[in-house]
Amino acid sequence: MRVLLADNVSRQCDAVLNTHGIETVRAGGISRQELIAMLPDYEGLIVRSAVMVDREMIEAMPRMLAIGRAGAGVDNIDVVAATERGILVMNTPGGNTISAAEHTLAMLMALLRKIPAANASIRQGQWDRKTFVGTELFGKRVGVLGLGRIGREVAARIASFQAQIVGYDPVLSPEAIRALGIESTTFEEMVESCQIITIHIPLMASTRGLIGTAELARMPHGAFIINCARGGIVDEAALLEALNSGQIAGAALDVFSSEPPTFPVALMEHPNVVATPHIAASTHEAQERVAVDIAVQMSEFFEGRGARGVVNAHGMEDCLMSAARPMMRATRLLGNLLAQLGGPNANHFNLIAHGPDATQIMQGLEAALLAGVLCQRQNGAVNEINAARIAASAGITVEAVGEGEHPRYQTLIAAEVVASQQHGSQSHHAAVTLFGRDDVRLVMFDNLWLDVALSGVLLLLRGADRPGVLAAMGGVLAQQNINISDVSLGRCQDSGDALTVIRIDGDISPEALDALRNLPVVQTVKVVRMG
């Protein structure tokens, strides 16, 4: 494996990856076109925030398996494009938590006590105590907008100043917020009642411009805003207007909608603004921590020990562990089989997984089934990372459930392709199990038990259950110079029919298929090619 380090991350990142036998190459500071030219040769990419990993760049990554962000935010990575290409995106959300929380407190106190302006004044030989009268944090109502890792650490530190802390997070229930020891509130109530709001939510479509003209006007007169999260959450033009009018007494900003900022510098030069150049996570400790964290996470992923910090495959972290991969592979083969038998218009599948760990990896098994189905219908790479997205756009659905051990097998993965008579699709039900780690066996088809390796070319022949049938089938194949490598029989006692599954060496010609279909003892013949 080879990993390209496109940003200036700590040398500890190389050391960790190299210890795990992963080659690293540094490409910090090169041009965008030079970087794009290098990408086809690597399975891993690690960036910080300087490199913009957009769709054009991602489309130049034919071998890429994982993109790692040495930090929390991934707004410099086109996660949608990476997911479409089946590339795992991971970050290190905890590595810079303490640094970001401490910087937020530093910005807050610098703003309230006017420290930067006072420092600039004294450096100019002035001794102006009256101009720099500050504001206490003690007793203030402080709203913490976003209660992830950083928001929680900020709240804990503000609590030591004996301020009144209230919190809101769009993904946490009021009960979950109260369980953190923080008073829960709504976004609207926070805006209208808090004298200080500190922002700790990600930038996305729903949060862009979240605090704009209307919200600033509803805040208590003389309120303060601190944003060390992401630029764009606060409407900068509206904030400048509110600062000029005195509605907002001050703002502390570490992030901007464009970095470096391209808008007029009036906001950053405002006397009631404290600004820093996106350095909340820029401590020696944090930079080394996130570099080591992303190296460890990428090493674990490449070695099949799972995935942590996953951005675009939530719920599948355990499925990417080597222990789960045999079941994932078996399920993918099962999806491949049923997609061939159900036809190109069969778009609904049912999945039942039996096994001691099945319920923990159902999301991964569902993705594996879809990947098996889609590889029959899609050009380009399909894997467990992008299967759900591609299936949704194609109208393919899966109903999945995990069960305990099966009476017959400790691990059994069963699935059904549901008929769509309008388009000529057919219903079939099949099940697979694992012998050891790598031997995937087809053990049931259309409610008949059998046992045959699920690989190569399989012939599924339905016909009479009487002496001479298997010999007649074998005779046709012998005449066509086709060798049989495996065979299994599933008997239907009620009807007197049987299902014969024959695995052959090589492929079968149309002429040989016609000969099998013309046998009086054969009712149907189906062929599946398992790649």
Give the SS3 label for residue 508.
Answer: coil
Degrees, nearest 5: CA angle 423-427-428: 140
Query: Model confidence at 380, in pLDDT bands (50, 70, 90)?
Result: low
pLDDT digits 0-9 by tens, 42-60 = 999 999 888 999 999 999 9
Average pLDDT over residues 489-515: 87
Average pLDDT over residues 316-343: 81
Our answer to whether residue 259 is catalytic in this structure is yes
466 or 112: which carries more pLDDT confidence?
Answer: 112
* Closest of 109, 104, 54 to residue 84, by C-alpha: 54
71 or 198: which carries more pLDDT confidence?
Answer: 198
- C-alpha distances out from residue 18 to 80, 292, 299, Å: 30, 12, 9
CA-CA-CA-CA torsion sign (110, 106, 188, 174):
negative
Degrees, nearest 5: CA angle 122-128-134: 100
Q: Which of 259, 399, 403, 405 is catalytic?
A: 259
Our answer to whether residue 230 is catalytic in this structure is yes
C-beta of residue 519 within 8 angstroms of C-beta of residue 512: no
Q: Count CB atoms within 10 A of the CB of residue 506.
A: 11
Average pLDDT over residues 512-531: 90
Q: Which of 208, 278, 325, 329 is catalytic?
A: 278
Q: Omega of the bond prior to 220 within 30 degrees of 0, cis? A: no
211 or 424: which carries more pLDDT confidence?
Answer: 211
Q: Which residues of 125-139 are buried (b: 16+ CB within 10 A; e: fewer)?
A: eeeeeeeeeebebee
In angstroms, the CA 23 to CA 20 distance is 9
- Structure tokens, 127: 């001794």
Average pLDDT over residues 292-300: 94
C-beta of residue 199 within 8 angstroms of C-beta of residue 145: yes
Element spanning 12, H or E: helix 11-19
Whether pLDDT at 93 is above 90: no
- C-alpha distances out from residue 68 to 76, 87, 96, 513, Å: 11, 10, 15, 50
In which order are the strands placed within the sheet that holds 497-504?
484-492, 497-504, 457-464, 522-529
pLDDT digits 0-9 by tens, 472-501 = 999 999 998 999 998 998 888 776 788 999
Whether pLDDT at 112 is above 80: yes
- Structure tokens, 281: 């996570």
Query: Which of 123-127, 298-302, 304-308, 326-330 has the least mean pLDDT?
Result: 304-308
Query: Model confidence at 407, in pLDDT bands (50, 70, 90)?
Result: confident
In this prediction, residue 13 carries a pLDDT of 95
In this prediction, residue 361 carries a pLDDT of 78
Q: Which residues of 320-352 are buried (b: 16+ CB within 10 A; e: fewer)?
A: bbeebbbbbbbbbbbbbbbbbbbeeebbbbbbb
Q: Which of 230, 354, 441, 462 is catalytic?
A: 230
Average pLDDT over residues 2-31: 93
Pure H helices in 419-521: 469-479, 510-517
Whether pLDDT at 411 is above 60: yes
Instruction: Quickly list DSSP for 182-224.
Output: -EE--HHHHHHH-SEEEE----STTTTT-B-HHHHHHSPTTEE
Whether pLDDT at 465 is above 90: no
Contacts of 340 (CB under 8 A, 6+ apart): 376, 528, 529
- Going along the chain from its start, the domains and CATH numbers come out as 2-95+285-302 (3.40.50.720), 97-275 (3.40.50.720), 318-529 (3.30.1330.90)
C-beta of residue 10 within 8 angstroms of C-beta of residue 288: yes
* Closest of 71, 99, 101 to residue 200, by C-alpha: 101
Task: Give the chain's count of helices (H) and strands (E).
Answer: 17, 22
C-beta of residue 384 within 8 angstroms of C-beta of residue 328: yes
